[in-house]
Chains A and B, each alone.
Chain A
C-alpha cells in the first residue's frame, strides 16, 4: 500500500451517495456477480469523490486538519482507503 500515490477508481468500480452514507459497487470482470458494499459514513464517500485530486496521504492529512478528526476517525479513514486499494477498486492514477 503506497499512500504517497494518487489513485483513481478502477474501471469496474463505482459509488454513489445515499441518505445513509453510500454504496460501493465493484464489478471485477472475473465472475458474473458484482460486489456491493454499504458505507455508513457520508464523509468517507465525500472524500472518495476527491481521491483523484491528490495523493492519498495528502488527502487524508488535509481532511484530518480541516475537520479536526480524532484517532478513531483517522483509523476508519485509513482502513476505508486501504481496503479499496487492496481490493483493487482504487488503482494508481
Chain B
C-alpha cells in the first residue's frame, strides 16, 4: 500500500489526534497590499485583538503539546509581528520540528537571516508572483519584486531551505518557466499554488483566475516538472486524467491541517475564514479541544462536500475540488469545484479580459 493510500484511509476516517500541520497567521498587518491577498492584509490592517506575544507563546505550547509537526507562519507579513523572532525561538526551543515562514522577503535583512539560520529547522517561502518586475509588481505592488529578489540573494549560501511561492494567475501564467529558472538560480525550489477567492483575492478572482486552457497547460507542465511543489492545491487538475498529482488528491483542511488567525480563531484553512466555519478561539478553549470537539472538525466541513461529484469518473483523482472555492463562489459545498476542468456552469470563459485589478 502506498503512503498516499495509507494516509488516505487514515485521514478519511478522521482518525488523526491532531493536524499534521497548522497554518498560523500571526498578524493581518503587512507592508505590502497585494491585489490577490488571501487575507486582505495591508499596512493599515486593524491589529487590535491580535494575540500578544505571551498569548502566542501559550498557543505554541498548545500546538507542541498536541504534537503538531509543522507550523506554517504567515500573515500578513509575519516579520511585522512584534516579537516574531522571539516566538520562533520559543517554539523551536520547546521542540517544534519544523517552522515554515511565508514572507514577502522585504524585511529579511542579514541579521534576521543569520538568526533564522542559527535556529535551524526553518523553511522559508518567499512570495514572488512573477518572474519579471512588471508582472510581479502588478500583483504585489511597486518594489515587491526587487525586495524579494534581494532577499533571495541574501539567502544564497545559507543552509535555509527556501521556496519561491508563485500564485498561478491568468496574468502570470506565461512566466512559469522563467519563475522556475529564477528560483533555481537562487537555490530555491519553485512552489506554485492556486489562486483562491478569499480576502482581496475574492474581488480580483474573476480577473485573475486562470482560463481552462491555462489550467490544462499547467497540468502538463507540472507533470514535466516533478521538482516543482504545489502545496497540494492543484488536486482538482487530476480530473484531466493521466498520473494523479504527487500530493494529496483531495482537500486536507479539517483533516490534516487547520488555520489559526491573528486573534486565535481556528478555521479549517486560510481560505475559509468565515463565521460559518469558525471552530473556536484559543483564548477560550485549548487547541486540542477545538480540534477534537468543534463540529467543523467533526464532519460539518465535510458534510455534503462531495455533492454531485461522487458519480463522476474523475472523483477519485480530484476529491470534488476545493471546498473554499465552492463556498466563496457558490455558497455551498455540495457542488463541483467552480474551476472544475471537466466543465461546470460556473467555469471561466475563454478569453475573458484580464482587467480590473
Chain A residues within 8 Å of B, Cβ to Cβ: 11-20, 23, 25, 27, 29-34, 36, 38
Contact = CB atoms under 8 A, between A and B. Distances in A.
Contacts, number: 67
Contact of A32 (B3, B10, B120, B123): B123
Given A15-B67, A32-B123, A34-B98, 12 more contacts: A12-B120, A13-B97, A14-B95, A16-B17, A18-B15, A23-B69, A25-B20, A25-B97, A27-B69, A27-B70, A34-B69, A36-B20
B161 A34 contact: no
A12 B10 contact: no
B159 A36 contact: no
A19 B18 CA distance: 11
Contacts of B95: 14
A30 B122 CA distance: 10
Nearest to B66: A16
Give the bracket for the number of chain B residues in contact with chain A. Answer: 20 to 34
Interface string B224-258: 00000100000000000000000000000000000
B120 A29 contact: yes
B20 A27 contact: no
A29 to B, nearest CB: 6
A34 B70 contact: yes
Interface of B: 3, 6-7, 10, 15-18, 20, 67, 69-70, 95, 97-98, 120-123, 159, 161-163, 189, 191, 229
A38 B16 CA distance: 12
- Of B3, B6, B98, B120, most buried by chain A (CB within 10 Å of CB) is B98
Contact of B7 (A13, A33, A38): A38
